């Protein structure tokens, strides 16, 4: 049956996000931590620091050194992932770092290091976007001085439909060339995109439409991040 005739597999509207759940303070031994579940994709982030830079020669005299690590747990996908760092995991660690860095007042932490670890425990597309969102919440939970949260989501094209937050099933569609995936990370307070990638084929006009849709989705996620963070600290205040 043609995808064009049936619409999105999970019956969402073109601009509708998957159900999203967020928590902060989920790992007791970290400086800050968070969990983000978007549909069937789950990312858990833990932050350590600011702390002394090791090895010493990596120290930056005028700003914070940020190191990010991304890991896809072996049984998070249908085909078992290899239980060791891959080229893709190293690349995604750099993607997370670049997406986050502009949101942090790095000049406030010279000669220090912040380590961000993200584990993907379930993967059904959008793992890098869930990882960035979880990492941003974890950095905030660690008390690091930030300009804003960094929400992230993928927009895309399936056949002739520009849509938001693709699932793995949608990414795997092959009807007229398959799906196009465009991950976007965005900082609302400074109106800046900190991640923009493209996998697939799309016209320039459609790309602009997809980016605008991605930013719209990021703004919705940003609202959820703020509510999650505020609610967590209300609960903490009541307990204290």
Listed range (40-49, 119-128, 176-185, 215-224) with the worst mean pLDDT: 176-185
Whole-angstrom distance, CA of residue 90 vs CA of residue 219: 28
Which residue is it, tokens 């978007």?
38
pLDDT of residue 184: 98
Domain at 13-239, CATH class: alpha beta
pLDDT digits (tens, 9 = 90+) for 73-125: 754 444 444 555 578 889 999 999 999 999 999 999 999 999 999 999 999 99
pLDDT of residue 170: 84
pLDDT of residue 37: 98
pLDDT digits (tens, 9 = 90+) for 12-46: 999 999 999 999 999 999 999 999 999 999 999 99
pLDDT of residue 84: 54
| Length of the chain, in residues | 240
pLDDT digits (tens, 9 = 90+) for 132-175: 999 999 999 999 999 999 999 999 988 788 999 999 888 876 44
Whole-angstrom distance, CA of residue 100 vs CA of residue 27: 20
Q: Taking all residues of the chain, what is their mean pLDDT, rounded to a whole number?
A: 88
pLDDT of residue 103: 97
């Amino acid at each position: 049956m043609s995808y064009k005739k049936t619409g999105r597999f999970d019956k969402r509207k073109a601009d509708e996000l998957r159900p999203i759940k967020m928590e902060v303070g989920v790992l007791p031994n970290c400086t800050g931590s968070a969990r983000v579940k978007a549909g069937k994709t789950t990312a858990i982030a833990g932050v350590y620091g600011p702390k002394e830079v090791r090895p010493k020669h990596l120290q930056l005299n005028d700003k914070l050194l940020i190191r990010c690590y991304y890991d896809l747990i072996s049984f998070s996908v249908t085909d078992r992932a290899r239980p060791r760092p891959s080229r893709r995991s190293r690349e995604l660690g750099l993607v997370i770092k670049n997406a986050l860095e502009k949101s942090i007042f790095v000049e406030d932490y010279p000669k220090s290091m912040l380590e961000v670890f993200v584990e993907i425990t379930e993967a059904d597309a959008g793992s890098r976007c869930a990882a960035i969102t979880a990492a941003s919440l974890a950095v905030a939970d660690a008390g690091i001085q930030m300009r804003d949260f960094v929400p992230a989501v993928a927009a895309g094209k399936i056949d002739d439909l520009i849509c938001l937050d693709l699932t793995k099933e949608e990414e795997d569609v092959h009807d007229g060339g398959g799906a196009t995936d465009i991950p976007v990370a965005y900082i609302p307070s400074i109106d800046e995109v900190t991640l923009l990638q493209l996998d697939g084929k799309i016209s320039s006009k459609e790309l602009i439409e997809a980016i605008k849709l991605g930013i719209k989705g990021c703004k919705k996620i940003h609202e959820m991040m703020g509510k999650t963070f505020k609610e967590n600290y209300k609960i903490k205040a009541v307990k204290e």
